[in-house]
Homo-oligomer: A and B are copies of this chain.
Amino acid sequence: MGSSKARNSAFAVSRSLGMLGNDWTLLILREAMSETTRFSEFRSSLGITADVLSRRLNTLVEYGVMSRMPYREPGCRTRHEYTLTDAGRELEVVLCALEQWGDKFLPWTSEPSIERRARESNRLVHVAFIDDRGREVPWQEVATVRPDAYHQGIAGAAGRQ
């Protein structure tokens, strides 16, 4: 899925996947969520080549998910730091939903691949549907409503296959 195609898609799902649909992109985002900011740190914790890392970081900056800031240490050339924008930080919900599903239905080991806890209470959290009164709604009880934009989107998608 090319990024311009994904960006122009009427479907929020396609636009999101256009940006996320790459193994390394996801691993870089996870590192960034653990406060990694420097190119060399991403390289050493992921064991990724400089070329691949550089392309992926550029894509993330282009989509507004990460931002790039120059910094300079004494006696060194100018380098760049990469930090998540608010859009990037909110991807935590998406990553968790994908991980939960993958751990349950396409398991690799018996362990969950990652755990999330509320910082204050240290209680385990999961991703689920919740209504506007703050009550969890089981997925079995959720109905989908399609506004006009959905049908316009289908028409657009059919022109592209």
Task: Spell out A's residues near B (CB within 8 Å).
Answer: 1, 6-17, 19-24, 26-27, 30, 33-34, 45-49, 52, 63-65, 87, 89-106, 108-109, 111-121, 123-137, 139-150, 152-155, 157-158, 160-161
Contact = CB atoms under 8 A, between A and B. Distances in A.
A129 B125 contact: yes
Given A87-B105, A106-B12, A125-B131, A22 B49 contact: no
Contact of A131 (B17, B30, B111, B123): B123
Given A120-B141, A145-B117, A26 B1 contact: no
Given A12-B98, A34-B144, A125-B142, 17 more contacts: A11-B102, A13-B95, A13-B102, A90-B139, A92-B142, A92-B144, A93-B97, A93-B128, A97-B98, A108-B153, A111-B149, A113-B147, A113-B149, A113-B150, A116-B145, A118-B142, A127-B128
